Amino acid sequence: MAKHSLDKDKIKFLLLEGVHQTAVEVLQRAGYTNIEYHKGALSGDELTNAIKDAHFVGIRSRTQLTAEVLQQAEKLVGVGCFCIGTNQVDLKAAELLGVPVFNAPFSNTRSVAELVIGEIIMLMRGIPQRSASAHRGGWIKSAKGSYEVRGKTLGIIGYGHIGTQLGILAETLGMRVVFYDIEDKLPLGNASQIRSLAEMLAQSDVVSLHVPETPSTQNMFGAAELEAMKQGAFVINASRGTVVDIDALAAALSSEKIAGAAIDVFPVEPKSNDDEFQSPLRGFDNVILTPHVGGSTEEAQENIGIEVAGKLAKYSDNGSTVSAVNFPEVSLPQYHETSRLLHIHNNRPGILIKINQAFSEKGINIAAQYLQTTPDIGYVVMEVNTSQAAEALEQLKGIEGTIRTRLLY
């Protein structure tokens, strides 16, 4: 019977930010029992101490895996983001260290789209301010400023997995949907793409942002964009807090240019549920403030736990990197009666030749070989006779340009 290079109970999984229990169950079913589980995020020394002997780390959006943190995680083999966003990880640093990063690109998209639909209706009816007033003993029984969503125009910025689902749901409520995206996108239903953001803003009764955090989306929605909107329109942001200039939004709410907003993500978010939430948007009755819960439903979290833990277990067990966000993607079949070796190297000419030469000189037969590259790194997976696996591993370690190697069986 073939043996793992490292026993599964020695492979440490560090799971942070209360990822769903399904993640623990998937890992345990796959034979991984060395799981350190934390309900909250870790930072500073606590994070570096916990991660330094971890082979895998699972996080959500709070934990910052910077280049410095990753460099101290000497045993790290893979990272799982139990969410969509991967902006909290220095993806390039992880790649250069030979560490693939996985996420869950679809599992919570419906939850976000549903929340936004609810918010559109609430904002257009002026419910947040009526509710806030009622809590203080007020009674604003009036139709003034309350509208049906039917026939109104929804402008979506970022027409990806969430934006498209939102568009379809909004159309079923009778809304007209327009969208702005830097890429040409297939419009679903009756939606139409508008090439100029200003033009789209001028048409929209409510604007909802669904872009990732990138250098191009940093503060992409500020004073000029708010000014380009219709008088009395609404803003929704459940993407990332860095995308909207929150001070400019507060000013537009104060001047009543913007009639209301629903904001789920903030430039600075509390590190835990025990910390105070601070924002210039506090105190506006016509603003729905939610604590970054767009994707936080039981269904989404359960599915994310299964999906991401499954990807980590698969990479650990057989080397497959399919759907990694920063790494050459290699889809690998099951293998029997051979040992599998993983070799991650700097992408420079001649490495594969050197590996093949070294194996040939030692009489090591390669039963199968798979290679994928990015401009910076190469990932080669080889199958060799189990009796030659240890020797093959030694040969791989000696290849110049090697970042990391692993023997699976």
Ligand X SMILES: NC(=O)c1ccc[n+]([C@@H]2O[C@H](COP(=O)([O-])OP(=O)(O)OC[C@H]3O[C@@H](n4cnc5c(N)ncnc54)[C@H](O)[C@@H]3O)[C@@H](O)[C@H]2O)c1
Residues of this chain that bind ligand 2HG (CB under 6 A): 60-61, 83-85, 108, 295
Tell me whether residue 119 is one of the annotated catalytic residues: no
- 165: partner contacted, choices ligand X, ligand 2HG, none (Cβ within 5-8 A by kind): none
Instruction: Kindly name the residue from 20, 60, 110, 240 that is annotated as catalytic.
Output: 240
**Kind and range of the H or E run holding 379:** strand 377-384
Q: Which two tokens stand for residue 53?
A: 């002997």
- 280: partner contacted, choices ligand X, ligand 2HG, none (Cβ within 5-8 A by kind): none
Instruction: Kindly name the residue from 20, 62, 292, 345 that is annotated as catalytic.
Output: 292
Evaluate whether 82 touches 305 at the Cβ level (below 8 Å).
yes
Side chain identity at residue 357, one-letter code: Q
Q: Which two tokens stand for residue 87?
A: 């902006």
Instruction: Kindly name the residue from 36, 114, 171, 269 that is annotated as catalytic.
Output: 269
User: Closer CB to ligand 2HG, residue 86 or residue 153?
Assistant: 86
Q: In Å, what is the CA distance from 193 to each residue of 167, 178, 186, 222, 241?
A: 11, 6, 8, 21, 24
- 181: partner contacted, choices ligand X, ligand 2HG, none (Cβ within 5-8 A by kind): ligand X
Side chain identity at residue 159, one-letter code: Y
| Rounded to 5°, angle at Cα 133 from 132 and 135 | 65
Q: Applying CB under 6 A, which residues contact ligand X?
A: 84-85, 108-109, 112, 157-163, 180-183, 210-214, 216-217, 220, 238-240, 264-265, 292, 294-295
- 60: partner contacted, choices ligand 2HG, ligand X, none (Cβ within 5-8 A by kind): ligand 2HG
Tell me whether residue 240 is one of the annotated catalytic residues: yes
CA-to-CA distance for 365 and 6, rounded, in angstroms?
23
Q: Which residue is nearest to ligand X (CB)?
A: 160
Tell me whether residue 292 is one of the annotated catalytic residues: yes
CA-to-CA distance for 25 and 37, rounded, in angstroms?
12
Least gap, CB of 215 to ligand X (angstroms) = 9
CA-to-CA distance for 291 and 273, rounded, in angstroms?
9
Least gap, CB of 113 to ligand 2HG (angstroms) = 13
- Looking at the annotation, which residues are catalytic? 240, 269, 292
